[in-house]
Structures are given as structure tokens and as C-alpha cells.
Amino acid sequence: MTDFAKRQAGVRERAGVDAVLLVPGANLRYFTGLEFGLSERPILAFLDAEGLALVLPELEVPQLEAHPEGSPRVFSWSDEAGYAGAFRAALTQLGLTDRTVGIDSMTMRAGEYLALLEAAPGLQVRRAEGDLMAIRARKEPGELDAIHEAVALSERALRRLLPELRAGQSEQEIAARLSDLLKAEGSEGDAFAPLVQSGPNSALPHGGPSARPLGAGEPLLIDFGGRKGGYPADITRTVFLGNPQSELARIFEVVSEANRAAVAAVGPGVAMQEIDRAARRVITAAGYGEAFIHRTGHGLGLEVHESVPQLAEGVTTPLEPGMVMTIEPGIYLPGVGGVRLEDDVVVSETGAEVLTRLPHRLPAGQ
């Protein structure tokens, strides 16, 4: 069972505030287990010394019965009354009107923020996204199990897809088939819409699948992931239908080596930028430094892109055991094609454990 009370106490203490306030999303799910959608009816969770309190639209109150924690304090509001009164009642009864609260300034909307200040002009509001992410970044064993499962089922889906690939299939067709295979392998759905890019399209790091048909000898870049227990996989493989042209074959080797160098650099206490440097050193030495146009990796958890760890130049924060990240160097040659190889990696007590088991080089087609 997830210990939500421990998570809540941890973030309040770390942020050094009287309460942490959350809106629906990954933070709310992580710290309370509650899954509400962000809508035009504001929902606000207060994590204070007593535990959990909620400002909640009346029509959502029945949802709480499924809540594992039992009975949070609830300040409900109806469509007729509006939410301003519930904001005021919560801040007053929780004794927060002139206290300090922490928010995730990147997910709380201006609407909730202004409603808070209108209800309690003396409220001190502080950014707490760094504290929220620092706690979420160190994964608990249950979270690691879920990511493990998401990775394993995603790999099975890709292994089923690759022999089916044929010249003439469109990127969109291949992406739709991959989504079906993920579901067939037990995924709760796509962790994100798969990127399937063929030929010169593979040189666009964030392009979506198009109607372009796959041609013989071309690179096909597939960036995808399934989900299990709410946790995603994020994997990229680049395959070739037939024999690749010589420069693409060469950059494949360079990217594979850069990926392995970055993985080898992972360990507790290592500055995050060192992982980026390890990958970049290999690619730069091969003469493609200018063609590696993004960071080496990002955190992976309830959200596919988490800000901790951030594997980029200038980030000197040390890695800690339990942090999960992607390692995804790439080389992109405009008009020719690109190669990216992305693995999911967890920091262990002594080094790194690579969760992805698929080899970098995979056969495609018949």
C-alpha cells in the first residue's frame, strides 16, 4: 500500500510551509492517490499538518468514497453558490489565511491562484514545484515495479511490430498498429502518442506520424511507450528496412556508443550534466556535435517528462538512488534522416540498472 501520509509530510517539511496546495494532475495523484480531472470547476487539495483537506465541487464528493485514505476534510461547493465561499471557508477553518503555502506554479492556474488571494489577501504563496519533484524523483519499489512492467510490455509490442513492417506502409498506419499491440500486451493505453518517422522525417526530433509511406533502406524512428499502474515507458528505437545508406549506418553506431557511454556514467552522486557530457563527447568526437540538438534525457515517472533528473549541461545536481530517467542521444541530418536510441534507466546504490532490455540493433521487415 502506498503511504500517502508519509509522502504528504515529506513534501510539507521539505518545502518548509504550513500547507502545500495542489490542483488535479500528477502531483495530486502522487501525494493523495486521488484522480480528478482539471476542469472549469476548481478542485484544490490542502496538505497541512492534519493531513488532507479538499475544496471540491459537490458533484465530485461521491468519488471520495473510493479514496484509500478514508475521510479527508471537505469544503464542497455547488454550481449555484460558486467556489469563492469554499476557498474562504477552507483557508479560514484550516487557519491558513495569514500563513505560508507552497504551490506548483507550473500547474496551478491563474484562476485558482487569484481565488486564493481574493479569499485571503494575507496569504503568503511560495513556489514548491522543486520540492514536489524532488520527492517524486526518488521512486519507491512499487513505482519501479510498475515502470518495469510498462517497459516489458512495450518491448513485447515492438518485437511483434517489427517483422510486420513493409515498404509502402504509412507512418500513421504503423503508429496505429503499435498502439493496438501495446493494448494487446496489457498496456493501459499509450503513455503518449507514438512518434513514427520514416526517411528524412526521422531528422525531426518531435515530428508526428504522417501519411508518408515507408521506403526500402530508409530509417524508421519509433519513439513510444505503454503504461502500467499509471506509470509509463519511454523507448526509442531506429530500425532500417533493408540496408541503410552508409552515413546513416555510421551515425547509428555513434549514437549507440553515445548511449552506452551515458549509461556507464550514471551512478549515485554523479552530477546530472556529466551524463549529458558523456554522450555528447562521443558524438562530438565523431564530428556530429552540431547534429545532437537536444538534452540527453529527462526524468520518467507518473509523467513521461519529469523535470528531475534533467540530463543537460549546467545541471550540477547529483543523481540519487531510485531516480528514473531516459538516456536518449540522437543525431539528426536534415534532409537525410536521424537516429535516436532511448533507454530507461534507474540509478542504483552502486551504478545504474537499465530497464530496457531490447538491443539497439533490431531487424525489421521480413
237 vs 260 by CB, closer to Zn ion: 237
In the complex, the smallest distance separating the C-beta of residue 306 from Zn ion, rounded to whole angstroms, is 10
Binding mask 284-323 for Zn ion (x = CB under 5 A): ----------------------------------------
> Judged by CB, which is closer to Zn ion: 18, or 223?
223
The DSSP letter of residue 202 is G
Q: Measured from the CB of residue 345, what is the shortest distance to Zn ion in angstroms?
A: 11
Question: Whole-number minimum distance, CB 85 to Zn ion, in Å?
Answer: 43
Residues 208-247, one symbol each (x = binds Zn ion by CB under 5 A, - = not), give ---------------x----------x-x-----------
Q: How far is the CB of 122 from Zn ion (least distance, A)?
A: 43
d(CA 328, CA 233): 13
Residue 290's Cβ-count burial label (10 Å; 0-12, 13-18, 19+) is exposed
* Least gap, CB of 69 to Zn ion (angstroms): 32
In 312-358, the DSSP E strands lie at 324-327, 330-333, 337-340, 343-347, 352-354
First to last CA, the chain: 46
In terms of CB distance, is 60 or 223 closer to Zn ion?
A: 223
Q: Does 326 bind Zn ion (CB under 5 A)?
A: yes
| Grid cell locating 6 | 508519509
Residue 190 or 234: the one with the smaller Cβ distance to Zn ion is 234
Residue with cell 536518449: 328
Count of Cβ atoms closer than 10 Å to residue 271 Cβ: 14
- Cα dihedral across residues 163, 169, 172, 176: positive or negative: negative
- Residue 48 or 223: the one with the smaller Cβ distance to Zn ion is 223
Task: Mark residues 327-356: x for contact with Zn ion by CB under 5 A, - for none.
Answer: ---------------x--------------
Cα–Cα distances in angstroms (integers) from residue 86 to residues 36, 71, 82, 150, in the given order: 18, 18, 8, 40
Query: For Zn ion, which is the closer residue by CB, 72 or 230?
Result: 230
Tell me which stretch binds Zn ion (CB under 5 A): 10-18, 37-45, 244-252, 325-333: 325-333
Q: How many CB atoms lie within 10 A of CB 82?
A: 12
Extract the C-alpha cell encoding 312.
Answer: 543537460
Residues of the shown chain interacting with Zn ion in the complex, contacts defined by CB under 5 A: 223, 234, 236, 326, 342
